[in-house]
Amino acid sequence: MTTKFSAFSAGSAPASGDNVVGLQGGANVKWTIAQLQALFGATFAANVGDGVNVSYVITHNLGTRDVDVTVYRNATPFDEVIVDVQHTSTNTITLGFTTAPTTNQFRVKVST
């Protein structure tokens, strides 16, 4: 089976409205990036902590408040921690800690 994908210029990420074209069962098919993200899920991850702040706005750009949020330590034992999570907008969440995390102490994963 041969699959063809639309070409994106080097260094640019596909936008949610961009199309991916391929073959399925011998027929041409076309999906938008947003459709593929809804089908397969999308994920954003980042390190959190600066030693000063107790609140962090995380911009995930997943386009929905219906996201799952996991926060875990960025060092041994890499366990999940409980933090306050606000689904601030369709593209951001806000994490709240009781004490300021050290620099990059935690990792947050946001997924659909």
pLDDT in the model for residue 2: 47
Task: Please provide the DSSP assignment of the chain as one string.
Answer: ---------TT-PPPTT-EEEEEETTEEEEEEHHHHHHHH--EEEEEE--SS-SEEEEE---S-S--EEEEEESSTT--B---EEE--SSSEEEEE-SSPPPTT-EEEEEE-
Residue pLDDT tens, the chain, 112 long: 444 445 545 555 566 666 666 656 667 777 777 777 677 778 999 999 999 999 999 999 988 999 999 999 999 999 999 999 999 999 999 999 999 999 999 999 999 8
Domain of 102? 42-111
Residue at 12 is within a domain:
no
pTM of the model: 0.69
In this structure, the answer to whether residues 54 and 106 fall within a common structural domain is: yes
In this structure, the answer to whether residues 36 and 47 fall within a common structural domain is: no
In this structure, the answer to whether residues 28 and 60 fall within a common structural domain is: no
In this structure, the answer to whether residues 76 and 32 fall within a common structural domain is: no
pLDDT in the model for residue 3: 47
In this structure, the answer to whether residues 61 and 87 fall within a common structural domain is: yes
Number of compact structural domains in the chain:
2
In this structure, the answer to whether residues 36 and 89 fall within a common structural domain is: no
pLDDT in the model for residue 112: 87
